[in-house]
Structure 1
Amino acid sequence: MRIPILRLGKILMASIQLDLTDADALQFQDDVVRKIAEIEALGVAIDITALETVDSYMARVINDTASMSRMLGAEVVICGVQPYVAMTLVEMGRELLGADCAFNLEQGLRILQKRISARGDAVLAAGERDDYIGAR
């Protein structure tokens, strides 16, 4: 199963709606990194609002995806971490490193726009159209 990755100008948005198998998680990671390079994305918002659980493997995949994205020059925000997911991650000794967290996608996009503006990148996503570029 592929996770759709939407494009809003130079920002990518992905919403993980279901628990992923290990193979799905790695495919998602690969898709995000490839799309960043393809469009020279300045930011990535990953929405995990629908996830009721995040195990240590998924936390590692999210961390690694954020690190890879930053290495390619994209800012990263993880949106919608549920309270029980946050508690579980802390209890496991896991954190979502390399990415800011936001309550929801709207707040996440504001954070990305501020971080991109602070870097001096003038191209922001607000005025451009959505493009569906992820799932097949």
Structure 2
Amino acid sequence: MNFKTPLLQLGDVLITSIQTDLSDAQVSEFQQDLVRAIGLKNANAVVIDISALDVVDSFMARVINDTARAARLVGAEVAVCGIQPYVAMTLVEMGRQLFDVQTTFNLEQALAAVKAAVDVRL
């Protein structure tokens, strides 16, 4: 697997951080690589940290939603953390939302959220 975005495993949780703006092709590759990694690493949960992003366009928002759906289909809960206030405002102004994604302020809250969701599911 050629995962270009950092991927850490903490027990059954995968943690990834998008640290730079990605092209549409890179975002699609990120999605495929992450969903593949869930299966390969038997992960029950995924946290995606986007705190370093200054911009989340409508394509990126859609891919995050789709990634969360795909992750759930293979058995993993998902949380996105670190959405900057101006990114949130931009998403609202564009009429975009992260519908199927648990969002949290920081990594600690995201880890707690996905662990709680996994515990409820079990």
**Fold conserved (TM > 0.5)?**
yes
Q: Does residue 25 in structure 1 map to residue 31 in structure 2?
A: no
- Deviation per CA, 1:21-53: give whole Å up to 9, x if none: 111111110110001111221100000000011
- Secondary structure at the aligned position of 1:90 is classed as helix
Question: Which residue of structure 2 lines up, in the alignment, with residue 95 of structure 1?
Answer: 97
User: Aligned to 1:114, what secondary structure does the other structure show?
Assistant: helix
The residue matched to 2:14 in structure 1 has which SS? strand
Give me the TM-score of the superposition, normalised by structure 2: 0.94
DSSP 3-state at the match of 1:101: strand
TM-score normalised over the length of structure 1? 0.85
Query: What secondary structure, in the 3-state scheme, does the structure 2 residue paired with 1:35 have?
Result: helix
Give aligned-pair identity as a percent: 54
Query: RCO greater where, 1 or 2, for CA within 8 Å and sep 6 or more?
Result: 1
Does the aligned pair in 2 maintain the 1:2–1:24 contact within 8 Å? no
Q: CA deviation at 1:2?
A: 1.5
Give the 3-state SS of the residue equivalent to 1:19 in structure 2.
coil
Q: Which one has a larger percent helix, Structure 1 or Structure 2?
A: 2
Match of 1:63 in 2: 65
Instruction: Give the structure 2 partner of residue 126 of structure 1.
Output: none
The root-mean-square deviation of aligned C-alpha atoms, in Å, is 1.1
- CA distance in 2 between counterparts of 1:68 and 1:87 reads 26
CA deviation vs aligned residue, 1:104-126 (integer Å, no higher than 9, x gap)? 01110011111111112xxxxxx
Residue identity in the other structure for 1:3:
T
3-state SS, counterpart of residue 28 of structure 1:
helix
| In structure 1, C-alpha distance between the alignment counterparts of 2:72 and 2:84, rounded to whole Å | 24
1:47 and 2:56 aligned: no
Structure showing greater Rg: 1
Aligned length: 120
Query: Gaps spanning 5+ residues in structure 1: where?
Result: 121-136
